[in-house]
A and B are shown apart, each in its own frame.
Chain A
Amino acid sequence: MSEELQSGIVKKFLYINRRAPHGTNYAQEGLEVALIGAAFDQDVAMAYLDDGVFQLKAGQDTKAIGTKNFSATYRALGDYDVKRVYVERESLERRGLSEDDLMPLVYEDEDDDWEEKPLIHVVSAREMQQIISESDVLLNF
């Protein structure tokens, strides 16, 4: 790694996911960036809004369209030091979804005896606005 990285700059990265998981591969390749990014010791959060909320839906099955079902990879987010996954409430509601329809994502809290804690936070559009404006680096997929 370069000298600048060793200098310990920590930025707030927010990965904004707005598209459905299948139909295009933005979701899959976006997730790959987030997982690679975890190696850089940055403050990483994920945001799911618009059709992006479908990415976290439980029980995805791609057999009929013959594409790779990468949805299990989302469960790895907690292992990759992603501690906050924000899902916009209005986007869920407009699509007839609630938090119960989503995969249960967890992380182990090293500051709390490795207790498993939920990763997903359902937030309002206004809160999402705040989260976006407080982030340093936005990556839109």
Chain B
Amino acid sequence: MKFAVLVNEGPYTHQASDSAFHFTKAAIEQGHRVIRVFFYHDGVNNGTRLTTPPQDDRHIANRWGELAQEHDLDLVVCVAAAQRRGVVDEDEQKRNSKDANNIADGFRISGLGQLIEAGIQADRLVTFGD
């Protein structure tokens, strides 16, 4: 089956991102395809490389990035939501004249159309959020 995943909450405060990660991993391991993971609302905060959780805790951003690398997973951060919350890649840094960027490895910033497209193409769109 082709799944698309929507993550609507940031890391750590809510379990949504953890659940989405476990779901995505399990789906892939069982032979399904996850065509895209889309991060919206505070979910965009999963995609910053500047987080430093305590060493005895999971590293949510890195964990997503590693899963993406391992399985060629498409992790997309919504540009409009990211602009509001200060999640920036190189292009956005230039476009908005910011002094830094913080997008984590394995994530890319793109538009809401990517969410709609995922909804059209996937057999199931699974939402994780409040």
Contacts and interface: CB of A to CB of B under 8 A. Distances in A.
B117 A2 contact: yes
B41 A40 contact: no
A42 B120 CA distance: 9
Interface string A26-56: 1001001100110110100000000000000
Interface string B35-51: 00000110000000000
Contacts of B120: 4-5, 9, 11, 40, 42, 137
B81 A29 contact: yes
Interface residues of B, number: 19
Contacts of A32: 80, 112
Given A29-B81, A36-B111, A36-B112, A137 B41 contact: no
Contacts of B116: 13, 33, 36-37, 40, 42
A5 B41 contact: no
A51 B98 CA distance: 38
Given A29-B41, A36-B112, A137 B81 contact: no
Nearest to A26: B41
Nearest to B81: A29
A112 B117 CA distance: 30
Count chain B CB atoms within 10 A of each CB in A1, A11, A32, A33 and give the residue with the most: A33
A73 to B, nearest CB: 14
Nearest to B121: A4
Contact of A29 (B40, B111, B117, B130): B40
B117 A5 contact: yes
Contacts of A4: 120-121
Contacts of A40: 113, 116-117, 120
Contact of A11 (B80, B111, B119, B127): B119
26 contacts: A2-B117, A2-B121, A4-B121, A5-B117, A5-B120, A11-B119, A13-B116, A26-B8, A26-B41, A26-B130, A32-B80, A32-B112, A33-B40, A36-B111, A37-B112, A37-B116, A40-B113, A40-B116, A42-B116, A42-B120, A138-B125, A138-B127, A139-B6, A139-B119, A139-B125, A140-B129
